[in-house]
Amino acid sequence: MINPDIKVPIFVTQPALPPLNEFVKYLEKIWDSKIITNNGPFHCQFEEQLASYLGVKYISVFANGTIALLTALQTLQIKGEVITTPFSFVATSHSLLWNGINPVFSDIDKTYLNLDPYKLESAITSETRAIIPVHVYGNPCDINAIQKIANKYDLKVIYDAAHAFGVKIDGNSILNFGDLSVLSFHATKVFNTIEGGAIVCHDQQTKERIDFLKNFGFADEVTVVEPGINGKLNEIQAAYGLLQLKSVDTYIEKRKNITETYRTLLRNIRGISYIPQLDNVRYAYPYFPILIDEQDFGKSRDEVYEFLKKNNIFGRRYFYPLITQFPNYSHLPSARAGNLPVAEEMAKRVLCLPIFPDLEISKVETISNLIANMT
């Protein structure tokens, strides 16, 4: 029987949309000007305001995060091997295969579920050119340790920061670390432009190169400097993004409140744990993953997942299966069973609970109580 408190299904997320009446005003301007894409005025304004909000110098917005990842690798002309994490959305590794790069998987750490810098070094070969760590669930990677290794072996670092919108360490944007950072503004993210993404870089020359690459390689009307792609964000989505920027702090505040409620209510349940927070980090709370220890809790992660589903609550097992379990990766030497023990274990234990700005606290309480009373 469906829980009487949850009559309407609750999904892992639900996008926050800008006020329709305000959006219509932007649409009217677009309808008047007839400029609907190709780096128009809203696109330029969006990049400026986004850079200022995030606290970064240079940002190029894209049609989605995956094309931004592909372009980031092209920007730095990466070939050979790239070390990355198996505990991510599959787009992280697909961007390597699409660029003819060989992915090499290295294990994650037990606490934050990010690439473990202390295991990274043993994955480096003479062919390694870069590292793509992911700030999984918006928890910062060990940026200093990763940079130290990158410097030692002369490797580029491209952060997949799809989950790290708005994250700061000691007041400094997480996007300012590494050579490039890639964001996603997909509907399921803290900040959405329906679909969308961005690359953050640190100098004007690189920004120019990224902008050429996202527009077929055109430098001007008659000059093509690179075999670029079409990665542009259109004016309608840029206008939508400008409006979203006005509300994003409210969205984050609501997510924080939900996170704190879950953390309080699930704190004392044996066999349920969550990722610790650091005092010097400003989080944006994109996901609320819990880790279920089957022995201590008495039920497996999949049992909890199915039980919640029966109660109309649709959590997600991000990131199960691991990327290394998918057919295009499972044959790789670094993907073999036993090589990534922490990632293998965490993929079996993790469950992301619903979190989105409009999720009522009473529903968070119901979800937490259901879990607490399961055993």
- Minimum Å gap between C-beta 287 and ligand T4K is 8
Strand partners, 190: none
Q: Return the sign of the alpha-carbon dihedral for residues 1, 360, 188, 142.
A: negative
Distance (Å, rounded) from C-alpha 222 to C-alpha 337? 52
- Minimum Å gap between C-beta 62 and ligand T4K is 8
Q: What is the DSSP string of 99-112?
A: TTPEEEE-PBPTTT
Q: Is 187 in the site for ligand T4K (CB under 6 A)?
A: yes
Element (H, E) at 131: strand 128-132
Contacts of 77 (CB under 8 A, 6+ apart): none
String of contacts with ligand T4K for each residue 318-347, x by CB under 6 A: x-----------------------------
- Minimum Å gap between C-beta 85 and ligand T4K is 9
Q: Is 134 in the site for ligand T4K (CB under 6 A)?
A: yes
String of contacts with ligand T4K for each residue 93-132, x by CB under 6 A: ----------------------------------------
Q: Is 188 in the site for ligand T4K (CB under 6 A)?
A: yes
Other Cβ atoms within 10 Å of 248 Cβ, number: 19
Q: Which long-range contacts (CB under 8 A, 24 or more apart) does 298-303 make?
A: 298/271, 298/375, 299/374, 299/375, 301/348, 301/349, 301/350, 301/351
| Residue in the shown chain whose Cβ atom is closest to ligand T4K | 65
Q: Is 89 in the site for ligand T4K (CB under 6 A)?
A: yes
Q: Return the sign of the alpha-carbon dihedral for residues 78, 83, 86, 89.
A: negative
The residue within the footprint of ligand T4K, chosen from 10, 12, 30, 190 (CB under 6 A), is: 12
Angle at alpha carbon of residue 137, lines to 353 and 289, rounded to 5°? 25
The residue within the footprint of ligand T4K, chosen from 16, 30, 162, 353 (CB under 6 A), is: 162
Distance (Å, rounded) from C-alpha 114 to C-alpha 106? 10
Element (H, E) at 128: strand 128-132
Q: Is 11 in the site for ligand T4K (CB under 6 A)?
A: yes
Which amino acid, 146?
I
The residue within the footprint of ligand T4K, chosen from 60, 66, 71, 93 (CB under 6 A), is: 66
Please list, residue by residue across 351-370, b when 16 or more beta carbons sit within 10 angstroms of its beta carbon and e when fewer do: bbbbbbbebeeebbebbbeb
**Which is nearer to ligand T4K, 185 or 212 (by Cβ)?**
185
Pick from 85, 193, 179: nearest CA to 139: 85
- Minimum Å gap between C-beta 65 and ligand T4K is 3
The residue within the footprint of ligand T4K, chosen from 51, 59, 64, 255 (CB under 6 A), is: 64
**Which is nearer to ligand T4K, 88 or 334 (by Cβ)?**
88
**Which is nearer to ligand T4K, 197 or 357 (by Cβ)?**
197
The site for ligand T4K, by CB under 6 A, has a size of: 24
Q: Is 82 in the site for ligand T4K (CB under 6 A)?
A: no
CB 106 within 8 A of CB 116: yes
- Considering only residues 265-304, where is the footprint of ligand T4K by CB under 6 A? none
**Which is nearer to ligand T4K, 141 or 266 (by Cβ)?**
141
Q: Is 88 in the site for ligand T4K (CB under 6 A)?
A: yes
Of 19-27, 88-96, 137-145, 256-264, the segment contacting ligand T4K by CB under 6 A is 88-96
- Considering only residues 141-160, where is the footprint of ligand T4K by CB under 6 A? 160
Strands in 197-201's sheet, in edge-to-edge order, are: 58-62, 197-201, 180-184, 156-160, 128-132, 81-84, 102-105
Distance (Å, rounded) from C-alpha 36 to C-alpha 141? 38
Q: Is 197 in the site for ligand T4K (CB under 6 A)?
A: yes
**Which is nearer to ligand T4K, 228 or 289 (by Cβ)?**
289
**Which is nearer to ligand T4K, 92 or 147 (by Cβ)?**
92
Give the binding site for ligand T4K (CB under 6 A): 11-15, 64-66, 88-89, 91-92, 134, 160, 162-163, 184, 186-188, 197, 314, 316, 318
